[in-house]
């Protein structure tokens, strides 16, 4: 498959895409009564991770990129919390929750590292521009 856009080359976006499919497969087993509550929330939050990482790559300023990284990170935490609540209700077992935790932790750590890199680069650019006469 040929990559057309920059976000497709990001390892963290690829992980978010894989997690998106994994999340959808996991919530397929949830009871029908959760269709408009936890299921919907998990769908939106897992989708938001990948979408915000993609949108991040379309932004020219590092400050804006960091903003979208931060939103993607928030969505990762949100989907993790929704799965924790699902675990509390008995919709998923401990093994599945451990798997979810590992996947989200990897994604969140990579997003956080990306955001920190964007902020650091933006600060370096600002410092360079402010030192010019």
Q: Is residue 46 within 8 Å of 74, Cβ to Cβ? A: no
Q: Residue 126 has what pLDDT?
A: 87
Q: Is residue 92 within 8 Å of 100, Cβ to Cβ? A: yes
Residue 1 has pLDDT above 90, yes or no: no
pLDDT digits (tens, 9 = 90+) for 78-129: 999 999 999 999 999 999 999 999 999 999 999 999 999 999 999 998 888 8
Model's pTM, two decimal places? 0.91
Residue 131 has pLDDT above 90, yes or no: no
Number of H helices, E strands in the chain: 4, 0
Output Rg (C-alpha) for the chain, integer angstroms.
17
Residue percentage of the chain with pLDDT more than 70 = 98
Q: Residue 128 has what pLDDT?
A: 86
pLDDT digits (tens, 9 = 90+) for 14-45: 999 999 999 999 999 999 999 889 999 999 99
Nearest of 67, 19, 11, 9 to residue 43 by alpha carbon: 19
Q: Residue 110 has what pLDDT?
A: 98
Structure tokens at 43: 């769908």
Q: Residue 2 has what pLDDT?
A: 80
Q: Residue 105 has what pLDDT?
A: 98
Q: Residue 16 has what pLDDT?
A: 98
């Amino acid at each position: 498959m040929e990559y057309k856009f920059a976000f497709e080359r990001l390892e963290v976006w690829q992980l978010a895409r894989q997690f998106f499919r994994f999340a959808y497969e996991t919530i397929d087993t949830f009871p029908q009564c959760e269709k408009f509550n936890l299921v919907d929330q998990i769908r939106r939050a897992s989708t938001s991770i990948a979408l915000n990482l993609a949108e991040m790559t379309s932004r020219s300023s590092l400050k804006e990129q960091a903003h979208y990284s931060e939103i993607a990170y928030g969505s990762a935490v949100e989907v993790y919390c929704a799965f924790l609540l699902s675990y509390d209700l008995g919709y998923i077992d401990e093994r599945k929750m451990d798997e979810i935790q590992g996947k989200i932790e990897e994604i969140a750590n990579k997003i956080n590292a990306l955001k920190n890199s964007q902020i650091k680069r933006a600060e370096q650019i600002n410092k360079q521009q402010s030192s010019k006469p």
